Amino acid sequence: MTSAVKQKMARGEVAVAVNLAGHNPDLLEPLARWGADVAFIDCERTGIGIDAATDLIRAARAARLPAVVRSWSRAPEVLVQYFDRKADGIVVPHIDSAEEAASVVEIVRYACGESAARDKLVVVQIETPAAVAAVDAIAAVPGIDVVLLGPNDLSYEMTGIRGNMTAEVERTIEHLAGRLRVAGRAFGMPARLEQVARFRALGATFLYYPVEWLIERALQELQRENSR
C-alpha cells in the first residue's frame, strides 16, 4: 500500500502521516476516511509494545491505510519483528551516518526480500549534529524513501533545550532541507497547521502530524464556536 504514498511525494505532493499517540485502533478507519496517507505507529515515544503494534498494523490494513512503525531500536531482531507482523514501513530514529542508514535498508531487504524496494517505506530520522554533518552521505544511500527531520531533538542537541528554535537551529533546518532537495530525496518534519506554508516552501513532502494536534485544533474551534 506504500506505492501511492511514494508516488504522491514523487509528484511533489504532501503525504500526511498521523501519529496515533498510543494503542488506538478505532482511529484508523476515520483517519483513512478523512484523508490521512500513513498511520504512524510510535513504539519509540509511547508505551506501544509489539502486541499493541500488531493490533494497530492489522487495524490499519483493514482500513486500507499504510502503517509504518517508529522503532525504539535499530537492532535487526527488533526491526524484523515489525515486518513479520506485516508493517508497511519502518521509521528509525537517531541515524547519524550513511553506514547506519545502509544497515536499515539491508535489514528491510532481509526481512522482506526483493519486494522491499517496491512495497515498504523506509524512513530515517536526522536529529543530531553528527547527522547534519553526514546529510549528503545519508541522502545518497539507495533504498531510503524519506528523511524525517527532528527539530525538537536537534534543538536539544544544539542548545540543551528541547524545542528551543533559535536562529541557528532554523538555519540548520533550512540547510538540511536544501541538501535533501539537491539530492532529490523526499523529506519531512512535524509541522502545525500554521507552519505548513513554510514546510512546503522548504520542499518537504512528508508531513508528520501527532493526533493530539488534530484534537487540539478541533477543540479550539469548538471553544470559539461556543463562545460566540
Domain CATH number, residue 111: 3.20.20.60
Ramachandran class of 158: left when φ > 0, alpha when ψ lies in -120 to 50, beta otherwise: alpha
Boundaries of domain holding 178 = 3-226
pTM: 0.94
* pLDDT single digits (tens) 31-43: 999 999 999 999 9
Domain count, the chain: 1
Q: What is the pLDDT of residue 162?
A: 86
pLDDT interval class at 29 (50, 70, 90): very high
Q: What is the pLDDT of residue 214?
A: 92
Measured in degrees and rounded to the nearest 5, phi and psi for residue 110 equal -60, -45
pLDDT interval class at 201 (50, 70, 90): very high
Q: What is the pLDDT of residue 125?
A: 97
Q: What is the pLDDT of residue 228?
A: 84
**CA-to-CA distance for 121 and 118, rounded, in angstroms?**
8
| Residue range 36-61: mean pLDDT, rounded | 96
Q: What is the pLDDT of residue 117?
A: 85
* pLDDT single digits (tens) 157-169: 989 998 888 999 9
Q: What is the pLDDT of residue 211?
A: 94
Per the prediction, the chain carries an average pLDDT of: 95
For 102, the grid coordinates are 545502509
CB atoms within 10 A of CB 194: 8
Q: Is pLDDT of 187 > 90? A: yes
Q: What is the pLDDT of residue 219?
A: 94
Question: pLDDT over 90 for what percent of the chain?
Answer: 89
| Residue range 169-180: mean pLDDT, rounded | 96
What residue type is 69 in one-letter code? Answer: V
Q: Is pLDDT of 115 > 90? A: no
| Residue range 125-140: mean pLDDT, rounded | 97
For 13, the grid coordinates are 505532493
| Residue range 53-60: mean pLDDT, rounded | 97
Q: What is the pLDDT of residue 1?
A: 81
Q: Is 148 in contact with 121 (CB distance < 8 Å)?
A: no
Give the list of residues 6+ apart from residue 45 with CB closer than 8 angstroms, or none.
70
